[in-house]
Every structure is written in C-alpha cells, then in structure tokens.
Amino acid sequence: MERLRDKVALITGAASGIGAAMVRAFVAEGAHVIVSDIHPPTGEALAAELGPLASFLKLDVSDESQWIAAMDAIAARFGRLDVLVNNAGITGTESGKVSHDPEHTRLEDWQRVMRINLDGVFLGCKHAIATMRRTGTAGSIINMSSRSGLVGIPHAAAYAASKAAIRNHSKTVALYCAEQKLGIRCNSLYPASIRTPMWDAMLHGDEDEEAMLKAMPLHRFGRPDEVAAVAILLASDEATYITGSEFNIDGGILAGTATSPK
Ligand SMILES: NC(=O)c1ccc[n+]([C@@H]2O[C@H](COP(=O)([O-])OP(=O)(O)OC[C@H]3O[C@@H](n4cnc5c(N)ncnc54)[C@H](O)[C@@H]3O)[C@@H](O)[C@H]2O)c1
C-alpha cells in the first residue's frame, strides 16, 4: 500500500538523522521526495541510492532567497507541492564549545539557532502556503518542534525557545490556512531522545548514556523511523481532519516525572 503515492514532498535537513529516515519512509510510500540540506554530498548520495522518486536540492532554510528558488524549481518540475516537512534544526551546542545557558549565551549564538530553527520554519511555511495557494493544493505542513519546546532545557536555551515558538507558529499557520479556506493543514512533532548524529555532541561517554536510559520509561532511545511513521500519517490523506495538532514521540518521557512515589 502506497499511502503517499504521487505526492510531492519537500523535506529540509534531510541528509541526516530523522530527515533521512523520513526520506526513506516517504519514498517507500510512493512519494516524490525532494531531499534538501546544506550538505550536498550526503543528500545527493541518499537521493541517488533511492532512485527516481528522490532528488536533491541544496537549501539553507535560513536564507529566504533559497526558499524562493526552491519553490520555483519544485513548481516548474512538478506543478505543485503537497507536503513540506520543516525538519532542519540545530541545538547550537554541536561544537561542544559554545555556552547555551541563559546566563552566558552570546547574542550571536542565540541568533544563529533562531535563524535556522525558527526563521527557517517561518520561511518554509510562508513559501509553502504561497506555492500551495498558487497551485490549488490542499497540502500538509509538518513542523519539527521537540520535547525541548514543551519544557525548559538549562543548557540549550535558544534551542528550547526556538522549539517553543515553532509550537505556537504551527497553530497560527493551521488557523490561518483554515480561515483562508486553503485546505492546507499544519501540525507539529515533539520527539525526544531519538538516536541521531545530533546526540553525538551531547553524550559524554557510556555512563552518561546509561543514566539517561535508566530515567526513560522505555529505557531506550527512539529510532528516526519511529518519527517518520507519524510524519507519514500527517502527510497522507488519512489525516485530513488533523490540523493545529501536536504529537509527542518520546517513549513516554513527557507522561510523568522521573521521581514518582511507589
Ligand atoms: N534527535 C532528537 O532526539 C530530536 C528530538 C527532538 C527534536 N529533534 C529535531 O529533529 C530535527 C532533526 O534532528 P536530527 O536529530 O535528525 O539531527 P541531525 O543533526 O542528524 O540532522 C539535522 C540536519 O539538518 C541539517 N541542517 C543544519 N542546518 C541547516 C540549514 N541551515 N538548512 C538546512 N539544513 C540544515 C544538517 O545538515 C543535518 O542534515 C531537528 O529539528 C531537531 O531539533 C530531534
């Protein structure tokens, strides 16, 4: 069964981790997938491996001119865009050297995270709505927030604030599109602890990892394909009554607290 047969989907930050898993899952469900990222070699290799349903497009989500060019290229090639997954995101702590607590974060480091995570989602929504409106497409926009958008994160202040803002913007987009009678849906995802390269800089040895696993209800990290499975549902025509909604994909982490009475 191809749940996304013939749909045209653009996925950002798609060369790695959750984005790459979504590309594989969307192609397996019959979608034409535009694999976009700032890293051409990895993105191109992924697209080449998956054959004619996948193609690579270089897109830095923080640059509006690149969004305009991307939408023009997609409209020219396919005549429409059915699905946008605003997946690209950074913690800002990748180098392991930059402080991201609320007391010591430099303004430029805060702004870099906001540019990619929040401006990127704003621009993606803006240009996808315009393209979908122009081509009369009842599309689906899926924005990647995070558990960090729902709770405070002491050493990733900009990341957490950007993800919280994505949560609210997704609802605004959903309501705006409904008001405009565009048929476009917008929903957001809240993964937690999905084992991808994003975690490489955040885990400092086996002890760190063991302590994390112990505190998790399911005692394991999530897999990128477990996030992709929810995106497939939201991208498909099975979800036509779902808009402005949010989905935790966290193995139960947000269901309670680490300390609870027996
Ligand atoms: N892994 C988790 O536990 C987790 C949890 C919650 C939310 N998320 C979110 O999921 C998304 C994907 O994360 P991941 O874990 O797969 O991380 P990842 O680091 O494996 O992948 C992120 C991708 O985004 C790309 N990217 C970075 N800057 C970009 C830019 N300016 N324009 C376009 N692409 C850019 C990178 O090249 C990379 O391919 C992110 O938004 C992240 O915040 C991840």
On whether the pTM is more than 0.95, the answer is yes
The pLDDT of residue 203 is above 80: yes
Q: How far is the CA of 212 from the centre of ligand 1 (A)?
A: 20
- The answer to whether the beta carbons of residues 14 and 36 sit under 8 Å apart is yes
- The predicted pLDDT at position 72 comes to 98
The pLDDT of residue 99 is above 80: yes
What is the average per-residue pLDDT within 78-104? 95
The pLDDT of residue 204 is above 90: no
Q: Which residue's structure tokens are 């430099």?
A: 106
Atom of ligand 1 nearest to the CA of 88: 24
Atom of ligand 1 nearest to the CA of 91: 43
Sheet strands side by side (includes 185-191): 54-58, 32-37, 8-11, 83-86, 140-144, 185-191, 246-249
Write down the mean pLDDT value for the chain: 96
Please tell me the residue having the least CA distance from ligand 1 atom 20: 17
- The answer to whether the beta carbons of residues 33 and 11 sit under 8 Å apart is yes
- Note the pLDDT tens digit of each residue in 152-168: 999 999 999 999 999 99
Q: What percent of the chain has pLDDT over 90?
A: 91
Closest CA to 18 of 226, 186, 233: 226
CA distance 69 to 49: 25
Show the domains of the chain with their CATH numbers.
8-252 (3.40.50.720)
Q: Which of 39, 90, 127 to mutate to test the pocket of ligand 1 (most atoms within 8 A of CB)?
A: 90
Work out the burial of residue 249: count CB atoms within 10 Å of its CB; fewer than 13 is exposed, 13-18 middle, 19 or more buried: buried
Atom of ligand 1 nearest to the CA of 145: 7
- The answer to whether the beta carbons of residues 14 and 43 sit under 8 Å apart is yes
- The predicted pLDDT at position 113 comes to 98
- The answer to whether the beta carbons of residues 159 and 100 sit under 8 Å apart is yes
